[in-house]
Structure 1
């Protein structure tokens, strides 16, 4: 039972954080509109909270796209290729993407080290910038994890079809 709960949490982690972030954005913006037009005043913190929540929601959405293979790709052209060639193109693209993600993790670690050494706080909330900015490291690390999970599943399934493609989109046709 605990294992199933952990599997569900792992399965819906990015969705939950993305939805939570978008809900926070919606509530903050709604409150700001009510305060400005209803009470002729403004909340000092709502724009900052909304901006931080939006960035976190976007990065978690990007990780979700890695897991579900929803990232923008020109798959129409790739799908015209024979299966082996299409597989090669997808793997090459993913290796480049993995390399970029590793590069971004390294850059984000360097950036977070600077933020930790030379502390700076957000203007309204007064929290250390290190915490909201850590999403770059978290996001790209999770993208790497999800990409590796995708390839581990593809490898375990016998490397049939194009990596990460859903079975209904994979084609098992003779090579031409």
Structure 2
């Protein structure tokens, strides 16, 4: 149970770190091979590119979980609380619909890769597997977005969804002092 809790809290970070490590090793191996041994390793570029895509989508999910994504929370927090909530809800609902749309489109994309397998030129692996990150990434973003609202509701629905109580109190205190 403890391991599952840890994995739930650190899944995206774990995948990002593994992918970034693979990228670093691949690029380093290519540099050493070219400049020390005067040979080119064909697999490094493809490996690094696939890992970069996985790291980006896992990083996006991590940003949703931590609410670090592009959003001007200072501007939203400066609005009256009820209006700020409405703005956040509308933005998150639109984002959730976008994630659902992208999951559907990505699923159709994966079905094509499943029906008509294509292998990568250097690694020779079926492209279906690395492309699953599209469904996984948008699915995780949607799950983390929903999870944010469950946690916000469970904690009493104070402030804005995704803002820590301390952040909310600090923002409202700053607003009161500026008046």
The TM-score with structure 1 as length reference comes to: 0.94
Secondary structure of the equivalent of 2:48?
helix
Q: Structure 1 CA distance, aligned partners of 2:145 and 2:111?
A: 26
Aligned to 2:148: 150
Structure 2 counterparts to residues 44-83 of structure 1, below 5 A = 44-83=42-81
Q: Structure 2 CA distance, aligned partners of 1:167 and 1:36?
A: 53
1:24 pairs, out of 17, 22, 38, with 22
Q: Structure 2 CA distance, aligned partners of 1:125 and 1:94?
A: 39
Moved over 6 A (4+): none
Aligned to 1:114: 112
Aligned to 2:177: none
Report the structure, 1 or 2, having the larger helix content. Answer: 2
After superposition, the CA RMSD in angstroms is 1.3
Q: Structure 2 CA distance, aligned partners of 1:161 and 1:74?
A: 15
Secondary structure of the equivalent of 1:36?
helix
- Farther off after superposition, 74-83 or 164-173: 164-173
Contact 2:23 2:51 in 1 (8 A): yes
Q: Structure 2 CA distance, aligned partners of 1:5 and 1:118?
A: 38
Aligned to 2:159: 161
Contact 2:12 2:62 in 1 (8 A): yes
- Deviation by residue 1:27-71 (Cα, 9 ceiling, x = unmatched): 000000001111111111011001001100110000000000000
- Deviation by residue 1:74-94 (Cα, 9 ceiling, x = unmatched): 222212101111111111100
| Number of residue equivalences | 172
Q: Which runs of 5+ in 1 are unaligned?
A: none
Query: Offset at 1:142?
Result: 0.6
Secondary structure of the equivalent of 2:139?
helix
- Farther off after superposition, 58-67 or 74-83: 74-83
The TM-score with structure 2 as length reference comes to: 0.93
Q: Which runs of 5+ in 2 are unaligned?
A: 174-179
